[in-house]
Amino acid sequence: MVVDSNEIETVTVIGGGQMGRGIGAVSALSGYETYINDIDESQLNEAKERIEWSYEKSVEKKQATETEIEDALDRLSFTTELEEAIEGTDFVMEAAVEQQSVKEDIFEDLDEIAPADAILATNTSGLNITRLAEVTDRPSQVVGTHWFNPPMLMELVEVIMTEYTPDEVADTAEDLIESFDKTAIRCRIDIPSFIVNRLMRPYGEGPAWMVYRGEHTFEEIDSAMKFKEGFPMGPFELADFTGGIQIRVEGEQDHLEDDRPMSYDTEVCPLLHQLYDKGRYGRKADAGYYEYDEQDEPQVA
Ligand code: NAI
């Protein structure tokens, strides 16, 4: 038995970082009892603060009432105890760090503890979801739900199927996403980086090589994309906003070892490694391709 969309009452988010806190904020505001779990207590404290800030903004913009926000905050629980977060859950969205081995360990634990009918989803940016399904005894209940940053504001969520995912499970994931007032698009094949990130890859990695080879500067490329092509952010600004340097470097080995068709077969541009080694992960670290003042950092959950 697999949970049906109209039976979902409780949602659990694993990882309370940039994405997890936003997904949790959306879920609680949409009426679900929501647990956010992280191994790091300080991340949970920060998640709580940022969600409160984000909710206040929603009230200011008249997107939610004070009462709706109070109710949403009542529905939110933050815990470092995995068991507490998943023992009564209906739907898990994993948003921990972008490393295949970490995610596989998490999925083994989820499978052991979560109710048998619960669906286990991952927010991976492009790692191997089929392998996550295979570490569980419920591969048909594993699916990708890939959000965009920041979850409170971005409308699109990709729902990714593996060879084990039946339509009913993808349908349930899509119904849940739509109950969050988001738009789901389905990626019918578990292919590295799915649809959007796959399309965007030439705009992210190509420009890094151009700078590395000394052909252009960050500013020239970002300006060209914004002013000539009409993109809201240039590739380096976007990567600093999303934490793309960290995601790409930490996922590099997993991508190189990935045996799915169309896997990434190229190494990450050394420029990203140089920045990563200096802790320049993007806005959240106050430096990435560019440098930022702490107050520049967007608060949104
Ligand atoms: P982040 O680094 O901000 O947050 C990751 C969190 O996971 C941290 O708080 C960390 O303490 C926690 N964590 C690590 N191991 C854990 C475990 N075993 N159990 C529970 N929590 C654990 O990362 P971010 O940016 O939120 O990314 C999370 C996931 O979402 C990654 O898979 C990433 O590829 C994906 N993603 C990121 C996007 C972005 O724009 N940053 C967009 C879409 C997907």
High-pLDDT (> 70) share of the chain, % = 96
Angle at which helices 18-29 and 41-60 cross, to 10°: 50
Q: What is the pLDDT of residues 104-150, one digit of tens each?
A: 999 999 999 999 999 999 999 999 999 999 999 999 999 999 999 99
CA of residue 101 to ligand 1 center, whole Å: 13
Q: What pLDDT does residue 230 have?
A: 79
The CA-atom distances, in angstroms, between 223 and each of 7, 230, 286 are: 48, 10, 21
* Ligand 1, atom 29: closest residue by C-alpha: 95
Q: What pLDDT does residue 296 have?
A: 62
- pLDDT at 72 exceeding the cut of 80: yes
Q: What pLDDT does residue 203 have?
A: 86
Q: Between residues 201 and 94, which one has the greater pLDDT? A: 94
Q: What pLDDT does residue 295 have?
A: 63
104 touches 132 (CB < 8 A):
yes
- pLDDT at 299 exceeding the cut of 70: no
- Provide the token pair at 40: 């790091």
Average pLDDT value for residue range 52-74? 96
Average pLDDT value for residue range 44-51? 98
* Ligand 1, atom 8: closest residue by C-alpha: 17
Q: What pLDDT does residue 231 have?
A: 86
Q: What is the pLDDT of residues 137-186, one digit of tens each?
A: 999 999 999 999 999 999 999 999 999 999 999 999 999 999 999 999 99
Give the number of the atom of ligand 1 that is nearest the alpha carbon of residue 105.
18
- pLDDT at 229 exceeding the cut of 80: no
High-pLDDT (> 90) share of the chain, % = 84
Mean pLDDT across the chain: 94
Residues noted as catalytic: 125, 146, 158, 197
Give the number of the atom of ligand 1 that is nearest the alpha carbon of residue 103.
18
171 touches 145 (CB < 8 A):
no
Distance CA 40, CA 168 (A): 35
- ipTM value greater than 0.85: yes
Structure confidence at residue 205 as a pLDDT band (50, 70, 90): confident
- pLDDT at 221 exceeding the cut of 70: yes
Domains of the chain as residue ranges with CATH: 5-187 (3.40.50.720), 198-296 (1.10.1040.10)
Distance CA 67, CA 81 (A): 29
Q: What is the pLDDT of residues 173-190, one digit of tens each?
A: 999 999 999 999 999 999
Q: What is the pLDDT of residues 264-282, one digit of tens each?
A: 767 899 999 999 999 999 9
Query: What pTM was computed for the model?
Result: 0.94
Distance CA 172, CA 145 (A): 11
| Ligand 1 pocket residues where CB is under 6 Å | 14-20, 37-40, 43, 95-98, 102, 106, 123-125, 146-149, 242-243, 247
